[in-house]
Amino acid sequence: MVTTSSQTIVIVGAGPAGLLLAHYLLRRGYGVQIYDRRPDPRRVALDQQRSFPISLQYRGRRALQGMAGLEEAIAAYSVMCHGTYLHRRGKARRIPRKHPILTVDRNRLVLVLLEQLVARYPDPARLSLTFDCPCQGVDSEAQTVSFESTDGEHFIVPYDRLIGADGARSAVRAALVADHDLDCQQTYVRDAYKSIFLARTNPQQGVELAPDFIHACNIGGDARILLAPQPGDQMHGAFIFNAKNNPFDGLKTKADVLDYFATYLPTFRPLLSEVEAEALLQRPTARLTTVTCDRFHQGDRILILGDAAHAVSPSIGQGCNSALQDVAWLNQLLDQYQDDWAQVLPQFSQQRVVEAHALRDLSDYSFPRSKALVLEFFLRLTVGRKLHQWFPQRFSPFVFDLVLDTDLDYSEVLRLSKGWINKVKRSMAVTASAPEVTS
């Protein structure tokens, strides 16, 4: 391994990928400086931050397990889920998973990763953290990146390597697009969502949902609800719907919201408080963007990863998992090429771009929209799983089992699931309009 102690790596973005990357790089002997546009999460109450649940599956958990004790620290604030209950018309279908899923609030995940990082590397000469400073630009010739402080002052930071882990609206990626002809396409995800917080139990009405399963319900009309259990008998999730057909547009009062749940989500109505019904009505609707790039690096100095490189629809829960996997993949390449970044970065692009593009198809087209295909979807989940158990040489696992219960490359999952993916793609093309391109 080459000497790394004299090299400083600047990471823009203190989300899950950026913080896990810092763990790996510091262990390798690098100096790390982290900058983030958001406030220091250690100084902001968790309930004052916008957040959403994350399901850490096989790929993401393996990346965490590469750092001793890290998964255990996160698990202390998580719930281990063993599958999903699909609720429909008062009945629930249980879909177990081969490998447990670790469900955790996104902000709690960030906080644990950060606290563990500071505890393990307290020397400010090796690790520095600066928050509330949006990235303003990159000068790759001078090897500097500029930021804006809370008082409006601009400051410049030199780097040996620069890694953009700053999300779907990455400033580092924008600099590569503007100055280095990075080909990047951004489009809005068809769905929009509102965060939702429900109780898991209502003893007065005799309602108690399984504490170690994710709960989901497809309402119809491109609307569905997805809830992950959290510590303290709470559930945190998303109410998802077609952005052009927002069911909340017709709801004016909290009574309207309660009536909507009673009609379309009767299983969850006893778990929705009047306070949350009012909050749900007022809570802003969120839109997500997908990001598709032709490469993830520039020369031997700059890299983008996670959502900055390949943001995808959250429909199969692989955004954070693939971002954490990026980090483990980069670490493996650093091992393979003995920290020779001139070889590592092109190899990272060569190997991960094809995986990112495959994940884009899997995220967009694994879950069907037409009623006929929804029925086939459930048959494949149940009957198809039995057929694979009985005749493993003739019947491959369904796409969801391949994604959630194996560590197969996304490109291989796509190859094995091409028939189903193409069927869903054709069904969606019939009614699809032109994609909304972000600015």
Cα–Cα distance measured from residue 260 to residue 272, given in angstroms and rounded to the nearest whole number: 11
Given 287, 306, 340, the domain boundary residue is 287
176 & 244 share domain = no
Note the pLDDT of residue 216. Answer: 92
Name the one residue in this structure whose structure tokens are 């609800």. Answer: 225
DSSP 437: B
55 & 143 share domain = yes
Position 246, amino acid: N
Cα–Cα distance measured from residue 163 to residue 301, given in angstroms and rounded to the nearest whole number: 8
Contact 173, 303 (CB under 8 A): no
12 & 43 share domain = yes
Note the pLDDT of residue 434. Answer: 46
Q: What's 210's domain CATH number? A: 3.30.70
Cα dihedral 426, 376, 287, 175 sign: negative
240 & 274 share domain = yes
Given 363, 378, 405, the domain boundary residue is 363
142 & 56 share domain = yes
113 & 244 share domain = no
DSSP annotation string for 372-428: HHHHHHHHHHHHHHHHHHH-TTT-PPPHHHHHHH----HHHHHHHTHHHHHHHHHHH
Count how many domains the chain has: 3
* Strands, E assignment, 49-160: 53-56, 79-88, 91-105, 127-130, 135-139, 144-148, 154-158
18 & 159 share domain = yes
Contact 79, 228 (CB under 8 A): yes
- Does a structural domain hold residue 205? yes
239 & 271 share domain = yes
- What residues make up the domain containing 260? 188-287
217 & 267 share domain = yes
- Token pair for 55: 């399901």
- Does a structural domain hold residue 337? yes
Containing H/E element for 330?
helix 319-336
Cα–Cα distance measured from residue 277 to residue 257, given in angstroms and rounded to the nearest whole number: 6
Note the pLDDT of residue 93. Answer: 87
Containing H/E element for 263?
helix 254-264
- Token pair for 6: 């004299």
**What averages of pLDDT result for each successive group of 10 residues across the chain (439 residues)?**
74 98 98 96 70 88 96 96 88 87 93 97 96 97 96 95 97 97 93 92 94 90 87 90 90 96 94 95 90 97 98 91 98 98 98 97 88 80 75 79 90 94 86 54
Cα–Cα distance measured from residue 81 to residue 296, given in angstroms and rounded to the nearest whole number: 33
pTM: 0.92
Find all residues with CB under 8 Å of 326, minimum gap 6, and list them.
17, 305, 306, 309, 352
- Does a structural domain hold residue 93? no
Q: What's 29's domain CATH number? A: 3.50.50.60
- Does a structural domain hold residue 424? yes
- Does a structural domain hold residue 92? no
* Strands, E assignment, 118-262: 127-130, 135-139, 144-148, 154-158, 161-164, 184-199, 201-202, 207-208, 214-220, 223-230, 234-242
46 & 180 share domain = yes
- Token pair for 163: 């890694």
Q: How many CA atoms lie less than 13 Å away from 291 in the CB half-sphere?
A: 24
Given 287, 322, 338, the domain boundary residue is 287
- Does a structural domain hold residue 96? no
138 & 224 share domain = no
157 & 255 share domain = no
